[in-house]
Chains A and B, each alone.
Chain A
Amino acid sequence: MSGDALPRRANVTVIKTFDIDYGLFAFAMVALTILYISARLYQQAFGFSMGLDANSPEFDRYWMTLFRIELPVLYGAGVLCWSYLFLTRDRSIETVTPETELRRYFYLAMWLVVYSFCIFWTGSFFADGDGVWHQTTLRDTPLTPSHIILFYATIPIYLFFGVGSFVYAMTRIPAFCRGVSLMHVIAVVGPFLILPNLGFNEWGHAYWLTEEIFSHPLHWGFVVLGWCALALAGVLMQIVERLRELIPLVFKQDAAGSPTDANPFRDASKKCGPEAQRQRYKPTTVSGRRSISGKSK
C-alpha cells in the first residue's frame, strides 16, 4: 500500500489511499500448487501399483473413490463461486469510482493469472503425464490414473477460474458489463469446450483408435480449442487500454506531469511527461524509422 508506511505530516488528513488485497490471490496460487503437486505424488504412489486394472478392487478403492469425490467437489465449488460472484454483483456499476475500478482491473488480472497457471498444469504438465502413461501402459478405459487427474480434476479447476474471471469482469467492471469482451469469451469458452471434446476423444478411442500415436488426428480437437488461449492477449489489451486512462486518473497525474508542482519533495527541475522528455532528449532519428516519441518521420 502506498500510504501506510510513509511519514505523514500531522496537519494532513488522509481520506483515501489506493491499495490492493493480495490475500486471495496468494492463497489461490499456494493452494493450487499444493493441490497439483499432491495429485502428481498420488499418481506416483498409486498409479502403477493400484491403477493398472480398472476392474480390480484396488483400482476402485484408490482411484474410483478419488473420481467420485473430485467431480462433485470441484464442479460444486465452481457453481458456488460463480453464483456468489453473480449474487454479490455491483448493482450500481455505473457509478463506480476510478479507484474501485482500477482495483477491480487488478483483481481481474489476478483471476487471469490463476487461470493461466491452471492452463499450464493442465495443458502441459498433466497432459504430458497422460502421454507418458499411455506410452507405457497402453489403453485401459476412460478412467485411468492419468485421466482421473487430468480430465476430471485439472479441467474443472481451470473452468472454475476461467468462468469465474468472466463472471467477475461482467459483474464488477463497467466496460465488461456494457459490452461483451469477444476475446474473453473465446479465451474461456475455447478451453471450456475441451470438456465436451473429451467425449468425442474417448468415444473414438473406445471403438477404433488406440492411443499409440499421440499426434493422431483424433486429438486435434484439443489442439484447435487450445489455440483459443491466444485470445487472452486480447483481454490483456483491453485491460491495458483502460489502465492507461485509470492510473493517471487515480494518481492525479496527467501526461504532462503537472502534479509535480504539488509535491514539495520532488525536484522541480525534473519535469516529467512527453513535453519534458522532448526537452531533455534530442533524439536523432533515422529517416523512415520510428522516433523516440513513437511517430514515424
Chain B
Amino acid sequence: MNPSGEGRVTSTADIDAAASPRENTRFKDKKDETVISVSGLTPSAARYSRLFDVLVVAAVVTIFAGAIHLHVMLTVGDWDMYVDWKDRQYWPLVMPVSMIMFPAALQAIFWVNFRLPIGATVGATVLLIATWIGRYANWWIWTGFPFTEGVPSQALAGALLMDMTLIVLRNSLFTSIIGGFAFGFVFWPSNYSALAPFYLPVEHQGMVASLADMIGYTFPRSNMPEYLRIIERGTLRTFGSSVSWVSAAFAGFICIFMHQLWWRLGLFASQATFLKNSDVVKSFMGIKSSVAS
C-alpha cells in the first residue's frame, strides 16, 4: 500500500480500517474481544455477524414458540389446560412424552451444528413463555378462567437435566437413555410444588373432593374431565400415591425412544440440502442453459 495513502481508492474493508480507532476502543474493554479476535473478522464484519445472530435468535424463538405450543396443545393440551385434568395416571405420562419432542430436536440442531448444549432448555422455555402469554391474554382476559384452574405444566427441570447429560456424555444415545429418561421421570415431581395446594381435600355436598375438582365444578367448560373421575372414582386418588411414580417411570421409558427419534428428526431438519433445480426454472432467473446444465 502507499504509506501516505495519497489518492487511494478505498473499499468496504478500508472503511472498516478507518473505523478502527473508535471500534477498536469499543471492543477493547469487552470480554468478547477474544471471540472477535479469534473469528478473524473486522469490527464491522463482526457487527454484521452479530446482527445475523440476532435475526436467528428472533426467528428461532418465535417459530418454535409457535410450533411447540401448537404441538403440545393439539396432542395433550387438555391435560395442560386445567388443573382437574392433571390426574395421576395419564398426565404424568402423556405430557412429557409430547413435550420432549421439539426439545430433543432442538438439542440435536444446536449441539451438532453449533456445539451449544442449550436446545432442550430453549424448547422448554419458549413453550412455557408462549403458554403463559396465552393463559393471560386469552384464558384470563377473554374468558375469565382463573389462573388457579389453568396453571400450566412445565418441563424446565427435565430439559435442564437433558442438556446437562449431553454436556457430560457428549453422545446422543446416552443422552437419550439417561437424559431422556430423566426428562420423563422428573416431570411429575418437578410439577408437584405447583400442584400441591390443589391436593387439599374439601367437603362438597357431603362428599370429599380435591380442591382441583372443586375449581372444576365452579368453572365448567366443554371438556370437563368426567371420564377421569369415572376411572378414578375415589376423589383424592386423582392425585398422588404410588401410581404417580409408576406413571413417571413409564414416561421416562417412553421418553428414551422419543428423544432418539426426535434427535434424528432434528438432524434431518437441519441439513443444508439443495435439490437440483430444473433448467427451465433457472433460465427464468437468467441462468443460461449451458451453465445450468
Contacts and interface: CB of A to CB of B under 8 A. Distances in A.
Please say whether chains A and B are actual partners in one complex.
yes
A165 B223 CA distance: 39
Interface string B1-34: 1000111111111111111111010000000000
B190 to A, nearest CB: 22
Interface in B79-122: 79, 81, 102, 105, 109, 113, 115
Given A12-B5, A110-B55, A230 B67 contact: yes
Nearest to A247: B45
A265 B24 contact: yes
Given A3-B15, A177-B277, A234-B269, A116 B74 contact: no
A6 B286 contact: no
B40 A255 contact: yes
B105 A230 contact: yes
A26 B18 CA distance: 29
B77 A91 contact: no
A176 B285 CA distance: 11
Interface in B105-162: 105, 109, 113, 115, 130-131, 133-134, 137-139, 141-143, 145
B272 interface: yes
A115 B14 CA distance: 36
A123 B67 contact: yes
Interface string A71-103: 000000000000000000111111000010010
A282 interface: no
Q: Which 9 A-B pairs have the closest CB atoms?
A: A179-B274, A252-B13, A128-B134, A123-B66, A116-B63, A229-B67, A123-B70, A230-B269, A120-B66
Interface residues of A, number: 114
Interface of B: 1, 5-22, 24, 36-42, 44-45, 47-49, 51-52, 55-56, 58-60, 62-67, 69-71, 73-79, 81, 102, 105, 109, 113, 115, 130-131, 133-134, 137-139, 141-143, 145, 221-223, 265-266, 269-277, 281-282, 284-288, 291-292
Nearest to B58: A113
Contacts of B73: 127-128, 131, 214-215
A181 B273 CA distance: 6
B18 to A, nearest CB: 6
A255 B47 CA distance: 16
Given A119-B67, A213-B78, A214-B74, A253 B40 contact: yes
Given A12-B5, A128-B138, A116 B77 contact: no
Nearest to A112: B59
Interface string A179-206: 1111100100000000000000000000
A259 B13 contact: yes
Contacts of B19: 2-3, 6
Contacts of B277: 177-180
A178 B275 CA distance: 9
Given A11-B7, A233-B109, A222 B74 contact: yes
A134 B222 CA distance: 7
A120 B65 contact: yes
A129 B142 contact: yes
A14 B48 CA distance: 20
Interface of A: 2-3, 6-9, 11-18, 20, 40, 43-44, 47, 89-94, 99, 102, 106, 109-110, 112-113, 115-117, 119-125, 127-129, 131-136, 138, 170-171, 175-183, 186, 210-215, 219-220, 222-223, 226-227, 229-234, 236-241, 243, 247-248, 250-257, 259, 262-267, 270, 272-274, 276-277, 280, 290
B17 A265 contact: yes
B274 A238 contact: yes
Contact of B42 (A7, A106, A259): A259
Given A124-B66, A222-B70, A270-B37, A178 B56 contact: no
A9 B18 contact: yes
Contacts of B291: 94
A115 B41 CA distance: 30
B108 to A, nearest CB: 9
Q: Specify which of A90, A230, A280 lies most central, judged by the most chain B CB atoms within 10 Å of its CB.
A: A230
B221 to A, nearest CB: 4
A186 B134 CA distance: 27
Given A171-B285, A183-B269, A13 B138 contact: no
A223 B71 contact: yes
Given A9-B18, A13-B9, A213-B223, A93 B285 contact: yes
A229 B52 contact: no
Contacts of A186: 269
Q: Specify which of B12, B36, B71 lies most central, judged by the most chain A CB atoms within 10 Å of its CB.
A: B12
A122 B7 CA distance: 57
A230 B139 contact: no
Given A14-B15, A92-B286, A131 B38 contact: no
